[in-house]
Structure 1
Amino acid sequence: MRRAEASVSLVELLPLRRVRLPSASKLAPYLRAVDRANWYTNFGAQSRALERRLAERYAVPADTVLTAANGTVALTAALLAADVPADSYCIVPSFTFTGTVSAVLLAGLRPWFVDVRRDTWALEAEAVARELARAPGEVRAAMPVSPFGAPLQQAPWQEFESRTGIRVVVDAAWCFDSIQAMRLPTMVSLHATKVFGVGEGAFLAGGTPEFTRRARAITNYGIEADQGSVRVGGNFKLSEYSAAVGQAALDGWAARRKAALRVKAWYLEELGGLPGTALLPGYDGDWAPATFALRFDEPLAARMLDRLSAANIESRMWWGRPCHRLRAYSGYPAAEQPNTEWLCERVLCLPFFESMKRRDVRRVGKAVKNALRSFTSPRTR
């Protein structure tokens, strides 16, 4: 082994995420309650209690919150509950996670990929409205996505829905702490990699009570009361064990949020305003993230990932391949995607977890700055 390789191998790996869910002692009271109830799924006491607590957190009626097994099936249930005609088109960004598009197809719709804005990394309601003149067919749904938790203004999308009649469902998977107002059916992921997680899970909120009633039935095979299955659905429910994790996680949320904000502040101090880069839009707001997404002015994300890997620092081009270019979706129509293509080559997510130390953030910052200097050096251009 060469000396340089040996020195790198001795440096501790800094992972992208280090997930920590509630400890066994914190979970115990809720698990004992599950044991006493002898009820393990199908809208039990734990999932209902979690829904009530989430409703209180977001100041929405309790009958408009619904937990689900994961974010993809929650989005699927929302689209089905919106009664969007099968085989019609749903507008989605290509700059998103593959699960967004999977939900559209699972709901019996066809994705139509429309470009995001370069400055917000997200779909813009007005731009999408203008694009409708070039639609490949009947468009009956739209799914704007909040990139990596960036606050997404829902009012323009509510107005878009009212003006066009196109149903809007919001993919806010990363937005547990950054949602400002729920005006439309909104999915928030509770996956372990998010800032607030239960392992696998998600919830819907922001719809009407009637919409949520339909979505709840869809998560249970479309069964309504004694009528049997009155609409297409599946087994999309959150188990009582996962809901118990959610309850314990809510108990400890204040401390976890404080820790995430501390790491975020260190990153802003270390890399905020770094020449040749830009932060996730709205990142300096008062909300706890699950990642630190850095956008380079030049298409350097892949090179930076390799350079950080050589320093034993994990990073990820989370949405580095546009969805419209993935084999699973390549047959579906896409508008021109210059901004999406531009962002995919430039956005890199850096290590972020609540137990990070300041020295860890400094290590990442130093590695990023050194790499940027080397990339702009005449020798490495």
Structure 2
Amino acid sequence: MEKIPLLVPLMPTTDQALPYFRQIDGNRHYTNFGPLSRELEQRIANDLSIPQAGVTTVSNCTVGLELALQARGLRAGANVLLPSLTFVATATAVSRVGLQPVIADIDEAGWSLTPAIARRAAELHRIDAVMPVATFGRPQDMAAWDDFERETGIPVIVDAAGAYGNQTAGSVADVVFSFHATKSFGAAEGGAVISPDAERIQHIRMLSNFGLDTRNGALTDLGTNGKMSEYHCALGLASFDMWERVKTDRRALYAGYMARLRSACPSLIFQEKPEDGVYPLMAVLLPQGRDATAVGSAVAANGVETRRWYTPALHQQPALRDCVVAGALDIATTLAGRIIGLPFFLGITDAQIDTVCSALARELDS
């Protein structure tokens, strides 16, 4: 029986990355914001239509979130609002820089923390910063979050780990991307912080180099080693060389897959998000009364690998049991056990998609 994997990363081949690796050989510069790092930042800036001064690379998205929070100058123990439905790194980033996660619910259609939810949460608890998440690659409304920050004075940092290609930059709020191999745009490991404040970007860059002021060697803040190596930047640049094709292929895959799922499994519920997005995965919501673990075990008999994405929800995680909760978490609780990740990767065949849809349909009809 054929096994259909959940994810198969698409990364540049050695031959595609070789010209950039040879540049590293010639430059003899391997990390510490070398020429390839600067070139990657410029290409990111061009892609997002922002100044290069608004971008810094980081070793990964989690470090980027930590440093973006630290650069906002929040008091020790400050409360950071985040959605219950997210990857655990959203919460660990908050805790590891000495801040307190405050867990909020999500909206039923987009499965995300919204400005309206954040405003209600701020009426119940002191909120010092907000970290919305581009859930499953669904972009956050940056105009709405920019307005939120302007109106409330509460800093906003968007965890857009899986949303490169979909998420826009803000005019006030910051955005952090992941370039992990499983994302639509990959560099094996790495990420980028985007900010409209060039001074904040310089602060984050310094924090990612231990907090050192390289002009005089003074330790001006307590940072970490969060730099993206030249080798990872080489992979990022090679990924940019094929980015237009990848976007086209991912959009076509998502559209075709969704059409098959809607036809074969009409009881499935789908996240409300742009149909032309560049998505890294396929997460769907099972109907009421169905459990993702049980359904995943059933379709595994047909060789279909699945995953329970973002579950348990944050408020159900043992290590986060003491976190403050801002209001009821009814939607996150209801959705968490029913979201299932299906095989989704460039190179999956129509026959494999049909197998996934058929196996899922048989289980949902049983």
Q: Provide the TM-score with structure 1 as the length reference.
A: 0.92
CA apart distance, 1:332:
1.3
SS in 2 for 1:277: coil
- In 1, Cα distance between the equivalents of 2:169 and 2:304? 36
CA apart distance, 1:116:
0.9
Q: Name which of 185, 199, 218 aligns with 2:174.
A: 185
Quick check: 2:271–2:284 contact (8 Å CA) kept in 1? yes
CA apart distance, 1:207:
3.1
SS in 1 for 2:223: coil
- In 1, Cα distance between the equivalents of 2:178 and 2:109? 24
Read off the aligned partner of 2:362 and give its amino acid letter. N
Structure 1 segment 1-381 matched on structure 2, within 5 A? 11-135=1-125, 138-183=126-171, 184-224=173-213, 225-226=215-216, 228-272=218-262, 274-284=265-275, 286-300=276-290, 301-335=292-326, 336-374=328-366
- In 2, Cα distance between the equivalents of 1:151 and 1:133? 26
CA apart distance, 1:18:
0.8
Bigger radius of gyration: 1
Quick check: 1:272–1:279 contact (8 Å CA) kept in 2? no
- 1:198-238 C-alpha deviation (Å, 9 max, x unpaired): 11111111331111111111111111232522112100000
CA apart distance, 1:189:
0.7
- 1:143-165 C-alpha deviation (Å, 9 max, x unpaired): 00111001210122112212222
SS in 1 for 2:315: helix
Quick check: 1:93–1:122 contact (8 Å CA) kept in 2? yes
- 1:314-347 C-alpha deviation (Å, 9 max, x unpaired): 1111112011221221111113211111110121
CA apart distance, 1:292:
1.1
SS in 2 for 1:76: helix
CA apart distance, 1:272:
2.8
Quick check: 1:84–1:167 contact (8 Å CA) kept in 2? no
- In 2, Cα distance between the equivalents of 1:243 and 1:130? 41
SS in 2 for 1:67: strand
SS in 2 for 1:348: strand
Q: Percent identity?
A: 31
Read off the aligned partner of 2:318 and give its amino acid letter. R
SS in 2 for 1:66: strand
- In 2, Cα distance between the equivalents of 1:317 and 1:57? 32
- 1:54-99 C-alpha deviation (Å, 9 max, x unpaired): 0000000001111111110000010011111111110011110010
Quick check: 1:149–1:172 contact (8 Å CA) kept in 2? yes
Read off the aligned partner of 1:245 and give its amino acid letter. L
SS in 1 for 2:227: coil
- In 2, Cα distance between the equivalents of 1:19 and 1:120? 25
CA apart distance, 1:127:
2.2
Read off the aligned partner of 1:153 and give its amino acid letter. D
Read off the aligned partner of 1:276 and give its amino acid letter. S
Q: Provide the TM-score with structure 2 as the length reference.
A: 0.95
Read off the aligned partner of 1:26 and give its amino acid letter. Q
- In 1, Cα distance between the equivalents of 2:156 and 2:182? 26
Read off the aligned partner of 2:329 and give its amino acid letter. Q
Match in the other structure for 1:4:
none
SS in 2 for 1:186: strand
- In 1, Cα distance between the equivalents of 2:284 and 2:154? 33
SS in 1 for 2:324: coil
SS in 2 for 1:272: helix
Say how many residue pairs are matched: 361
Gaps of 5+ in 2: none
Quick check: 2:118–2:130 contact (8 Å CA) kept in 1? no
Quick check: 1:141–1:168 contact (8 Å CA) kept in 2? yes
Gaps of 5+ in 1: 1-10, 375-381
Quick check: 2:55–2:194 contact (8 Å CA) kept in 1? yes
CA apart distance, 1:181:
4.3
Read off the aligned partner of 1:358 and give its amino acid letter. D
- 1:129-178 C-alpha deviation (Å, 9 max, x unpaired): 1221221xx42111001110012101221122122221110001111111
Query: Relative to 1, partners in 2 of residues 1:296 and 1:237: Cα closer, same or farther, differing over 3 Å?
Result: same
CA apart distance, 1:297:
2.6
Match in the other structure for 1:5:
none
